[in-house]
C-alpha cells in the first residue's frame, strides 16, 4: 500500500509538472483543477485492481498531455 501511494503521488507530481508547461493561464488553471478533483475524488479507493487501473489511465492521460505539448511547441 505504501508503494502504491508513492506511485500515485509521483503521478500527481508529474501531471502538475506537465501542466506548468501549458502556455495559456486559463488552460493551466482548468487542468490543475481537473487533476486536483480527479485525485481527490479517488483518494479513498481501496480496491487494488481499481487503483492500478486509475494509475494506468492517469499515465495515459499524462502521455497524451505531453504529446500535445510537444506538438504545440513544434
Nearest to 18 by CA among 55, 73, 42: 73
pLDDT digits (tens, 9 = 90+) for 17-59: 999 999 999 999 999 999 999 999 999 999 999 999 999 999 9
Nearest to 65 by CA among 10, 28, 26: 28
Q: What is the structure's pLDDT at 20?
A: 97
Q: What pTM value is reported for the model?
A: 0.91
Is pLDDT larger for residue 48 or for residue 2?
Answer: 48
| Residue 67 scores a pLDDT above 90 | yes
Q: For the chain, which residues make up each domain, given as ranges?
A: 1-73
Q: What is the structure's pLDDT at 49?
A: 95
| Residue 74 scores a pLDDT above 90 | no
Q: Alpha helices, DSSP H only, in the chain?
A: 2-20, 25-41, 48-73
Count CB-CB contacts under 10 A for residue 18.
Answer: 19
**First-last CA distance in the chain:** 40
Amino acid at each position: 500500500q505504501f508503494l502504491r501511494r508513492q506511485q500515485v503521488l509521483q503521478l500527481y507530481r508529474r501531471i502538475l509538472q506537465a501542466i506548468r508547461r501549458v502556455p495559456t493561464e486559463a488552460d493551466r488553471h482548468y487542468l490543475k483543477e481537473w487533476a486536483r478533483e480527479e485525485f481527490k475524488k479517488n483518494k479513498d479507493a481501496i480496491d487494488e485492481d481499481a487503483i492500478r487501473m486509475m494509475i494506468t489511465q492517469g499515465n495515459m492521460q499524462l502521455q497524451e498531455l505531453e504529446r500535445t505539448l510537444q506538438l504545440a511547441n513544434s
